[in-house]
Structure 1
C-alpha cells in the first residue's frame, strides 16, 4: 500500500480528529476560518468549535485517509453515526499551516 503524504495542517486535522481532541482541532483553524458541511456554513471560532464538537468529537469520528492531492483529502470516516464507515472528500484551503476554509462532501 502506498503511503499518503499529508500537509502539516491536514495531518494535524486528522491527528486531532482521531484523538477526539476538541482543543487541538480548533487550533488547526486560522482566524476567520469557515467550514462547509451538511449544506451549512460555520464561520468564526465559536461556530467552528460548535461544528467540531457536534460533527467530529461527539460521534467519535475516526478518519482513515485514502488519498490526498491538491489539498483534497479523501478519507473513510467511522464513528457513532448510522451507515458508517462512509467516504468523504475534504477540500482544504490552507494559509500559514492553518485551515482557513474547509468543504466536506460525501464521495
Structure 2
C-alpha cells in the first residue's frame, strides 16, 4: 500500500483502533463529539466510549486505509465479525487535531 498523508486526528483514530486501545480512542474525540454509525448517533464521551468498545475494541477491528480525500477516509475493516473484511467510508470533522464529528457508511 502506498503511504497516505492523513491528518493527525485521522492517523490517531486509525492507530488507536488498530491497537485496540480504548483510552487512546477516547482521546481522539473532542468535547461534544458525535459519531454516526449503523443508523444511530452517539454523542458525548460516555456514548462514544460505549460505541468504540462495542464496534471497534471488542471485535478487534483493524482498519487498513485505501484512500483519503478532503475529509473522507476509505478503508478496509477486518476483525472478529462475519463477512469481513468490509470497506467503509469514514467522514471526519476535525478541529484542533481532535475528531468532532465522524460518520461511517459501508462502501
TM-score of Structure 1 vs Structure 2, range by shorter chain = over 0.9
Question: SS of 2:11's equivalent?
Answer: helix
User: What is the aligned partner in structure 2 of residue 104 from structure 1?
Assistant: 104
Unaligned runs of 5+ in 1: none
Matches within 5 A, 1:21-60: 21-60=21-60
2-structure distance, mates of 1:72, 1:40: 19
Unaligned runs of 5+ in 2: none
2-structure distance, mates of 1:23, 1:3: 26
User: What is the aligned partner in structure 2 of residue 16 from structure 1?
Assistant: 16
Task: Tell me the TM-score normalized by structure 1.
Answer: 0.98
2-structure distance, mates of 1:47, 1:89: 21
User: What is the aligned partner in structure 2 of residue 68 from structure 1?
Assistant: 68
Question: SS of 2:84's equivalent?
Answer: coil
**Residue 2 of structure 1: how far off its partner (Å):** 3.1
1-structure distance, mates of 2:91, 2:27: 18
2-structure distance, mates of 1:20, 1:51: 13
Deviation string, structure 1 residues 42-89 (Cα, Å, up to 9, x no partner): 000000000000000000000000000101000000000000000000
Structure 1 stretches of at least 4 aligned residues deviating more than 3 Å after TM superposition: none
**Residue 20 of structure 1: how far off its partner (Å):** 0.2
Task: Tell me the TM-score normalized by structure 2.
Answer: 0.98
User: What is the aligned partner in structure 1 of residue 82 from structure 2?
Assistant: 82
